Amino acid sequence: MRRRWMGTLGLGTLALVPLLAACGSGESAAGAQEATAGKSWVVVANGSATPSPVVTGAKSTATPFPTGFLPLSSASPAPTPTGSLSCAPVKQNPINGATAVAGATSATVTWYHPGGGNLVDYRVTAISQDAMLGEQRDIGWTVVTPGEPCTFMSATVTGLDRDTRYTFSVDAVQTRPGFDGTYAKTVARTQVVSTTA
C-alpha cells in the first residue's frame, strides 16, 4: 500500500515538472526582463519656481467716505410731481388702466388721457388671446385724436370675431423734441375680455 501512494505521488510530481519548466523559461521570461530593464514610465524634469505676483497698472486711493456711499450734493434738485396743477395724476397702474366692454363683433375701450404737447394721436388695437392654427387675423388700428386733457377717452374697435377673448392695447404716438418723425409706445392695456356669441 505504501508503494502505491509513492507511485501516485511520483507520477504527479513528474507531470508537474515539465509544466513548471515551460512557464519559467522561453521567450516570455526574456521579454519580461527586457521590459523592466527599459526606459522608466515616469519622466521627471527639473522646473523653476513660479514668480511672485507684481502689482502693475493704476494705483488706487482710499475714498474719504468710509461707508462707500456717494454723498448727495447740497444743490441736488428736488423731485417734481407728475401731472400738472390742472391735471391730478391717476392713482392706478397706467399700463393696466384701460377697460373694455365687448359686444358681439366690437368693443368700447376707455383709458385716461393726461394730455401733453407732444402727443399726436392714440392708436387702439385688439389682440386675440385664443390659440388657433395658422396665421391670426389682423384687426388693425383705430386712430383717435386726443381730446381735452385730464379726461377719460373712449374708442370703439370693430371687426372682432364672435365668442373670442381679446386684450386691447392703447399706444400713444408722440413727437420727440429735437428729432424728426414720431414714435409710439404702449400706455394702457386691458385685461382679457370676451366677445359675445
Residue 141 · residue 168 · CB < 8 Å: no
CA distances, 12 to each of 19, 21, 23 (Å): 11, 15, 17
Mean pLDDT value across residues 6-12: 51
Tell me what pLDDT residue 69 has: 45
Please give the backbone phi and psi of residue 118, each rounded to the nearest 5 degrees, phi first: -95, 10
Mean pLDDT value across residues 153-170: 95
pLDDT at 36 over 50: yes
pLDDT at 169 over 80: yes
Mean pLDDT value across residues 166-171: 95
Q: State the Cα–Cα distance between residues 139 and 125, nearest whole angstrom.
A: 7
Q: Among 71-75, 127-131, 147-151, 192-196, which stretch is predicted with the lowest mean pLDDT? A: 71-75
Percentage of the residues of the chain whose pLDDT score is greater than 70: 55
Q: State the Cα–Cα distance between residues 187 and 93, nearest whole angstrom.
A: 10
Alpha helices in the chain (DSSP H): 2-24, 27-37
Greater pLDDT, 23 or 42: 42
Domain architecture of the chain: domains with CATH: 94-194 (2.60.40.10)
For 49-94, write each residue's pLDDT tens digit.
Answer: 777 776 666 555 555 544 444 444 555 455 444 444 456 655 555 6
Tell me what pLDDT residue 68 has: 43
Tell me what pLDDT residue 65 has: 44
Tell me what pLDDT residue 125 has: 95
Residues 6+ apart with CB under 8 A from 186: 95, 169, 170, 171
